[in-house]
Chain A
Amino acid sequence: MACKKFVHLLSLLPIVSPPFAVATAVITLFGRGGIISNQLLGQQWNVYGLGGLTLVLALSFFPVAYLNLLGMLRSLDPSLDEASQSLGANKWQVFRTVTLPMLIPGFAASFLLLFVEAIADLANPLVLGGDFTVLASRAYIAIIGEYNLGAGAAYSMVLLVPALLVFIVQRYWSNRQSAVSVTGKPAGAAKMNTSNAARIPVLALVAIVMALIITIYGTVILGGFVRILGVNNAFTLDNYRYLFQGIGSDAIITTTLLALIATPIAGILGMLIAWLVVVKLRRGAGVMDFLGMLGLAVPGTVLGIGYAIAYNTPFDAFGRRFIPALAGGGAIFAGAMAIVMVYIARSIPAGQRSGVAALQQIDPAIDEASTSLGASGLTTFRKVTIPLIRMALLSGLTYAFARSMTTISAIIFITTPRTRIMTSQILSEVEAGRFGNAFAYCTILIIIVLTVIGLLNLAMKGKGSSAAPTIPPAAA
């Protein structure tokens, strides 16, 4: 169904776009002089504060939950539905007593994961917060505005504790429930629900969300080509001209380059950790897995402030310089090294998670078959394991690149005047009220991310034959 694919792709847009795209578009659409709120409906809504933040965060983060649940729904065994029906349950009862309880771990995992993301979010509160202050923006103001590193670090600690706590709860929860979520090979196909009573409300809700996404991203694209969207709708290329001259093009090239450096390193490290966790390590596996996932558990703001404090000064001992300063204006490579390190730390979990999932699918007998045919451990890894997790590596790389390009909270504390990063440039444009430039930046960034993802897909899929699933075949 073409429509299905369209909805799927639209749902993924927020993942590949910078955090300001949604917030800025929402201000333009629903703000005080907003196109929809004021010009269309004649209302005076206040989008700044908790209400607007909730809407924007929900729109920005729902794709993560969507992907989580999509995977779970796909692995649900339709024969469970059929069993429930044959025991006398109607469609609604099947959903309520079988489908929903089996999805609860997925809901819970998504909820907790997104809690960590939301509590640590910096970009949206900066743009949309207004008088409503959150911890992350307080830490930001303390450091950038008041030059009070100590206060910033203190706010970070307050932020770190609940984030880590929730993350640990989430891990415990999903580990405990893993027996339910991995049901193996689904047999048969799920039947579509055809009752209108169920379809119409769900479809209507989906349609509203999709309309919202289309409007928001339409605003982003259009906003780049007019003077001030909603105020002066005259067509102009000035925004893009501004971008491609001087600072703008510099930031675009630097950001893309640094993300391209970080992506393969993060992808390979993630796979390596996954391999150690699933195949090699017996005892330390849990600790290893947790360490790898820290990049996700630690709020970006905390990570950024931590890097700024830890790497601003060189490491000297015994009268010799062991490590030069990595972050800040005086650092080597103009601080680019610290930025790449942040990108890697933030991106490893994505590759690691898809790697762990892919490796757990591989029948251990396949490794043993390779050994039995004379292959050493390394040969088996190279000739059997790597080809089998290629698709996972691809999705890991895709996430890593998208995450690196769009991250802001960790980066904002360690960018330097000589190393400009697009997301922080977008923030200053938004803060200066130059929405046109911000929209143009966002559009370019989305195009870069989509292009690189497309190229990655081409490169990985073009090689070799089809990557077949590795579930052991059942009886003939």
Chain B
Amino acid sequence: MTDLAAADQLLEDNSPASGRLSLVALTKQFGNGPDTVTAVDAVDLEIEPGEFITLLGPSGCGKTTTLRMIAGFEDPTGGEVVLDGRNMIDTPPNKRPMAMVFQSYALFPHLKVRDNVAYGLKLRKLPAAQLNEEVELGLKSMNIEQYANRAPNQLSGGQQQRVALARAMVMKPKVLLFDEPLSNLDAKLREQMRLEIRRLQRHLGITSVYVTHDQSEAMSMSDRIVVMNKGRVEQAAAPEVIYRQPATVFVADFIGRANFLDVTLLSHDDDGHATVEVLGQEVRVPAHPDAAGAADVVLLVRPESIRLVAVREGDEVAAGGHAGTVTTSVFFGDTVEYEVDTEHGTITAVVADPNVSDIHEEGAKVEVRFNEGRAWLLPREG
């Protein structure tokens, strides 16, 4: 566990108002001539001091390149990286008040844990007494004092990542950069570490940019998630907004699981709702503002918003329901997942905390219902 008091002491003179990071039309192209690939395409982003931002997207979406341009390891083709009003583009990476935590930990294998943590401070030529004190606080705040005299290869992956965090933190950076720092850890440790990092970051208020392709990591840690696709920002918003009110089909599909129902837009109301027709039934659902003028719309229904009701032979399907046949039924313990064939195509449904006797068998006839208030209408083309 992290020691927040020690971390506080380490960073007591850090001004909470600094660390405002802006990306302005940040662009990176690789190659030249006809082979040019635009990895990052005019990304604009305002990051508030102390904010925890996650760049999320499939591999090749430009998230790592964006992070490396912020750090200075990659020269942008165009655009600006502005920190507290200062453009950092011409500042070399070693002069930027930022510290990076790497996926491979990147601990110096020839230095002991203590010397790894002290590395940056030694370069700053801190007086010995102050240096030792700050290194101790850094080790203490990540709870790794007992490994101080070990070589990095004598530590487990999780311990190594703690050393890497301590090494970055003692630099008292204005911005912490994380490049998929937890992806080499096993699932349980990963969950524990992401809570610790989040707790520490929120407590210290250091602006953080975190790159990951793991959406549960992004959901659980971020103030805001920036979903990227093909070098562009698809949406930048709080996790709840990303999940419940995605701006594009890509975001809806990438975050969590989604059923997309074909609907016809009947009317768009000013109160953020729209009336749509789903297979002959009129329903009122929350809608994205862009859905009003869109040529084609689609209705997002999350699998957990769907209820399945058993239908006995000969029964009629009630109003608001749709007939379906269970094709797959998988019991996960905490949930049951179904695939149901309906006139809308195959619909995925997840039922939490299932009562074993109520589980629908494969081949069973069911009535599919969904919570209209939880659905979300959005334009088909971003």
> B210 in the interface, Cβ–Cβ < 8 Å?
no
Q: Are B157 and A475 in contact, CB atoms less than 8 angstroms apart? A: yes
- CB < 8 Å neighbour of B108 from A366, A374, A379: A366
Q: Are A370 and B112 in contact, CB atoms less than 8 angstroms apart? A: no
- CB < 8 Å neighbour of B104 from A365, A390, A464: A365
Q: Are B73 and A468 in contact, CB atoms less than 8 angstroms apart? A: no
Q: Give the chain B neighbours of A384 by CB distance below 8 A.
A: 108, 110
Q: Are B151 and A373 in contact, CB atoms less than 8 angstroms apart? A: no
> A193 in the interface, Cβ–Cβ < 8 Å?
no
Q: Which of B93-101, B130-138, B296-304 sits within the interface? A: B93-101
Interface of A is mostly: loop
> B103 in the interface, Cβ–Cβ < 8 Å?
yes
Contact with B along A28-68 (1 / 0, CB 8 A): 00000000000000000000000000000000000000000
Q: Give the chain A neighbours of B177 by CB distance below 8 A.
A: 372
Q: Are B184 and A474 in contact, CB atoms less than 8 angstroms apart? A: yes
- CB < 8 Å neighbour of B110 from A363, A375, A387: A387
Q: How far is the CA of A375 from the CA of B118 in the complex (A)?
A: 13
Q: Which of B119-127, B198-206, B324-332 sits within the interface? A: B119-127
> B35 in the interface, Cβ–Cβ < 8 Å?
no
> B271 in the interface, Cβ–Cβ < 8 Å?
no
> A376 in the interface, Cβ–Cβ < 8 Å?
yes
How close is B6's CB to chain A, nearest CB, in angstroms? 20
Given known contacts A373-B119, A464-B110, A476-B185, A365 and B103 CB-to-CB distance under 8 angstroms: yes
Q: Are B104 and A375 in contact, CB atoms less than 8 angstroms apart? A: no
> B186 in the interface, Cβ–Cβ < 8 Å?
yes
How close is B257's CB to chain A, nearest CB, in angstroms? 26
Q: Are A369 and B160 in contact, CB atoms less than 8 angstroms apart? A: no
Q: How far is the CA of A254 from the CA of B97 in the complex (A)?
A: 55
How close is A456's CB to chain B, nearest CB, in angstroms? 19
Interface residues of A in 342-392 (CB under 8 A from B): 363, 365-366, 368-376, 379, 383-384, 387-388, 390
> B152 in the interface, Cβ–Cβ < 8 Å?
yes
> A469 in the interface, Cβ–Cβ < 8 Å?
yes
- CB < 8 Å neighbour of A368 from B73, B167, B185: B73
Q: Give the chain B neighbours of A387 by CB distance below 8 A.
A: 110
Q: Give the chain B neighbours of A363 by CB distance below 8 A.
A: 104, 106
Given known contacts A371-B73, A375-B123, A473 and B102 CB-to-CB distance under 8 angstroms: no
Q: How far is the CA of A97 from the CA of B225 in the complex (A)?
A: 50
Contact with A along B156-180 (1 / 0, CB 8 A): 1110100010011001000001000
- CB < 8 Å neighbour of A374 from B104, B110, B124, B189: B124
Given known contacts A468-B151, A475-B185, A375 and B157 CB-to-CB distance under 8 angstroms: no
Q: Are B124 and A368 in contact, CB atoms less than 8 angstroms apart? A: no
Query: CB-nearest residue of chain B relative to A380?
Result: B94
Q: Are B100 and A467 in contact, CB atoms less than 8 angstroms apart? A: no
> A215 in the interface, Cβ–Cβ < 8 Å?
no
Q: Are B157 and A473 in contact, CB atoms less than 8 angstroms apart? A: yes
Query: CB-nearest residue of chain B relative to A379?
Result: B123
Q: How far is the CA of A137 from the CA of B143 in the complex (A)?
A: 70
Q: Give the chain B neighbours of A474 by CB distance below 8 A.
A: 157, 184
Given known contacts A374-B124, A375-B94, A368 and B105 CB-to-CB distance under 8 angstroms: no
Q: How far is the CA of A293 from the CA of B306 in the complex (A)?
A: 69
Q: Are A472 and B110 in contact, CB atoms less than 8 angstroms apart? A: no
Q: Give the chain A neighbours of B184 by CB distance below 8 A.
A: 473-476
Q: Are B151 and A372 in contact, CB atoms less than 8 angstroms apart? A: no
Interface residues of B in 67-87 (CB under 8 A from A): 71, 73
Q: How far is the CA of A476 from the CA of B159 in the complex (A)?
A: 9
Size class of the contact patch on chain B: 35 or more
Q: Are B123 and A368 in contact, CB atoms less than 8 angstroms apart? A: no
Interface residues of A in 436-476 (CB under 8 A from B): 464-470, 472-476
Q: Are A373 and B73 in contact, CB atoms less than 8 angstroms apart? A: no
Q: Are A476 and B158 in contact, CB atoms less than 8 angstroms apart? A: yes
Q: Are B112 and A473 in contact, CB atoms less than 8 angstroms apart? A: no
Q: Are B189 and A476 in contact, CB atoms less than 8 angstroms apart? A: yes
Q: Give the chain B neighbours of A472 by CB distance below 8 A.
A: 104-106
Q: Give the chain B neighbours of A371 by CB distance below 8 A.
A: 73, 92-94
Query: CB-nearest residue of chain B relative to A474?
Result: B184
Q: Are A468 and B106 in contact, CB atoms less than 8 angstroms apart? A: no
Q: Give the chain B neighbours of A370 by CB distance below 8 A.
A: 108, 119
- CB < 8 Å neighbour of B157 from A366, A383, A466, A476: A476
Q: Give the chain B neighbours of A369 by CB distance below 8 A.
A: 100, 102, 106-108, 164, 167
Q: Give the chain A neighbours of B168 by CB distance below 8 A.
A: 372-373
Interface residues of B in 347-377 (CB under 8 A from A): none
> B9 in the interface, Cβ–Cβ < 8 Å?
no
Q: Give the chain B neighbours of A379 by CB distance below 8 A.
A: 123
Q: Are A372 and B71 in contact, CB atoms less than 8 angstroms apart? A: yes
Q: Are A374 and B120 in contact, CB atoms less than 8 angstroms apart? A: yes
Q: Are A465 and B151 in contact, CB atoms less than 8 angstroms apart? A: yes
> B216 in the interface, Cβ–Cβ < 8 Å?
no
Q: How far is the CA of A241 from the CA of B95 in the complex (A)?
A: 66
Q: How far is the CA of A473 from the CA of B73 in the complex (A)?
A: 22
> B14 in the interface, Cβ–Cβ < 8 Å?
no
Q: Are A465 and B94 in contact, CB atoms less than 8 angstroms apart? A: no
Q: How far is the CA of A469 from the CA of B110 in the complex (A)?
A: 9
> B109 in the interface, Cβ–Cβ < 8 Å?
yes
Interface residues of A in 225-265 (CB under 8 A from B): none
Q: Are B104 and A468 in contact, CB atoms less than 8 angstroms apart? A: no
- CB < 8 Å neighbour of B102 from A365, A388, A466: A365
Given known contacts A475-B184, A475-B186, A365 and B157 CB-to-CB distance under 8 angstroms: no
Q: Are A373 and B102 in contact, CB atoms less than 8 angstroms apart? A: no
Q: Are A374 and B123 in contact, CB atoms less than 8 angstroms apart? A: yes
- CB < 8 Å neighbour of B167 from A373, A383, A476: A373
Q: Are A467 and B110 in contact, CB atoms less than 8 angstroms apart? A: yes
- CB < 8 Å neighbour of A465 from B99, B103, B110, B158: B110
Q: Are B99 and A372 in contact, CB atoms less than 8 angstroms apart? A: yes
Q: How far is the CA of A388 from the CA of B106 in the complex (A)?
A: 13
> B153 in the interface, Cβ–Cβ < 8 Å?
yes
Q: Are B108 and A473 in contact, CB atoms less than 8 angstroms apart? A: no
Q: Are B94 and A372 in contact, CB atoms less than 8 angstroms apart? A: yes
Q: Are B110 and A388 in contact, CB atoms less than 8 angstroms apart? A: yes
Q: Are B156 and A476 in contact, CB atoms less than 8 angstroms apart? A: yes
* 7 interchain pairs, CB-CB under 8 A: A363-B106, A366-B109, A373-B99, A383-B119, A465-B112, A470-B109, A475-B185
6 nearest interchain CB pairs? A476-B157, A373-B120, A472-B104, A369-B106, A468-B109, A365-B106
* Inter-chain pairs besides A372-B98, A373-B171, 14 sampled, C-beta below 8 Å: A365-B106, A366-B109, A368-B73, A368-B93, A371-B94, A373-B120, A375-B94, A376-B92, A379-B123, A384-B110, A468-B153, A470-B109, A476-B184, A476-B186
